[in-house]
Amino acid sequence: MSRFLLLALLILLPIPVVHAEQVALVTGDNYRPYVDRSLPGGGLLSILVRKVFAEMGKEAAIDFLPWKRGYRDMLSHDYVGSFPYRQSDGRDQQILYSAPLIAGHSVAVVREGTGRTLPELAGANPRVCRAGGYSSYFDDLLGAGHARLIEPADIDECLRMIGANRADVMSLDRLVFVATRAITFVEAPLATIDLPRTEGTLHFVVARDLPQGQRLIEEFDASLARLVADGWVAELFRRYTLAQTQPCPVC
């Protein structure tokens, strides 16, 4: 990243609020460009969430943990909240969701040259790679026993396994695929297949039984709406995407 782009991005980093109440939050790594401790500000959505809490007069202290552990610790109230999560039937009884932080679209990632359509792939008992802590477009297929699960810790390992023909497919947010593929060595070219009905949104979440959790979500949403209305969010996305997301090389 050029010095100019880094400086342009840092202008948007929230200024710590003096004597503000500190709020402990948790997220995970390897979900670029949204969250990763190695990215400026911890990633696009880490910057956004910190700014929302600063608008609420609070200072967000964000820890980066393995996804499954972070989610568990959020449910047990070791952390006030976590992000980013898609809405999921499997989690709806456990958490409350904020208004959307960002919208995305998932794709199926396969080894180039397989020649399979999505229905053909789904009917071939595929080896589905699903990084630990994430959900997958193919979860129903896995639940019905019509696919085999491979579950490494990280997204980049899934990409490597598909490139090495040790897995057949994974589903992944398109922007995350571009950002991760650009920095991950993969043995063979990869290709993507559009997935139907996968327009989705990412959210800040709290445990459903967190004391005052509903009020916190309402305050969060109001602060987020103000940042959207004054153009701050659009400018953050423009600068961060410019700084972090480069065109995917020949995949």
In a domain, 249, yes or no: no
Domain boundary pick from 198, 213, 228:
198
In a domain, 165, yes or no: yes
In a domain, 37, yes or no: yes
In a domain, 23, yes or no: yes
Percentage above 90 pLDDT, the chain: 64
Do 35 and 89 belong together in one domain?
yes
Q: Kindly report, residue by residue over 143-168, the tens digit of the pLDDT.
A: 999 999 999 989 999 999 999 999 99
Do 180 and 239 belong together in one domain?
no
Do 29 and 153 belong together in one domain?
no
- Overall average pLDDT of the 43-62 stretch: 96
Structure tokens that stand for 8 in this block: 């342009």
Q: Kindly report, residue by residue over 166-204, the tens digit of the pLDDT.
A: 999 999 999 899 999 988 999 899 999 988 876 688 999
In a domain, 189, yes or no: yes
- Overall average pLDDT of the 221-239 stretch: 93
Do 123 and 174 belong together in one domain?
yes
Assess contact for 186 and 160: CB atoms under 8 A: yes
Residues ≥6 apart with Cβ < 8 Å to 169: 108, 109, 110, 121, 126, 127, 128, 129, 138, 162
Q: Kindly report, residue by residue over 124-142, the tens digit of the pLDDT.
A: 999 999 998 788 889 889 9
Domain boundary pick from 160, 180, 198:
198
Do 91 and 13 belong together in one domain?
yes
- What pLDDT score was predicted for residue 15? 60
- What pLDDT score was predicted for residue 241? 72
The pLDDT-based confidence of 114 (bands split at 50, 70, 90) is confident
Do 186 and 214 belong together in one domain?
no
- What pLDDT score was predicted for residue 239? 83
Pairing assessment for the beta strands 190-207 and 95-97 based on DSSP bridges: antiparallel
In a domain, 80, yes or no: yes
In single-letter form, the type of residue at position 250 comes to V
Do 129 and 221 belong together in one domain?
no
Do 40 and 28 belong together in one domain?
yes
Bridge partners of 64, per DSSP, are 27
In a domain, 231, yes or no: yes
- What pLDDT score was predicted for residue 251? 35
In a domain, 250, yes or no: no
The pLDDT-based confidence of 3 (bands split at 50, 70, 90) is very low
User: For residues 207-238, b (16+ Cβ closer than 10 Å) or e, as one string?
Assistant: beebeebeebbebbbebbeebeeeebbeebee
Assess contact for 171 and 108: CB atoms under 8 A: yes
- E-strand stretches of 119-173: 127-129, 148-150, 170-173
Look up the domain containing 24 and give its range. 3-103+201-244
Q: CA 221, CA 97: separation in Å to the nearest integer?
A: 10
The pTM score is: 0.82
- What pLDDT score was predicted for residue 172? 92
Do 169 and 230 belong together in one domain?
no
- What pLDDT score was predicted for residue 14? 61
Do 87 and 151 belong together in one domain?
no
- Overall average pLDDT of the 209-215 stretch: 97
- What pLDDT score was predicted for residue 4? 42
For residue 220, give the CATH number of its domain. Answer: 3.40.190.10
Residue 29: closest CA among 155, 152, 151: 155
Higher per-residue pLDDT: 243 or 223:
223
Residues ≥6 apart with Cβ < 8 Å to 84: 27, 31, 34, 35, 45, 101, 102, 202, 203, 204
- What pLDDT score was predicted for residue 20? 72
The pLDDT-based confidence of 242 (bands split at 50, 70, 90) is low
| Total count of domains within the chain | 2
Do 10 and 128 belong together in one domain?
no
Number of residues that this document lists for the chain: 251
- What pLDDT score was predicted for residue 248? 42
Do 26 and 99 belong together in one domain?
yes
Task: Round the average pLDDT of the chain to a whole number and report it.
Answer: 88
- Overall average pLDDT of the 44-48 stretch: 95
- Give me the sign of the Cα torsion angle 221, 17, 25, 38: positive
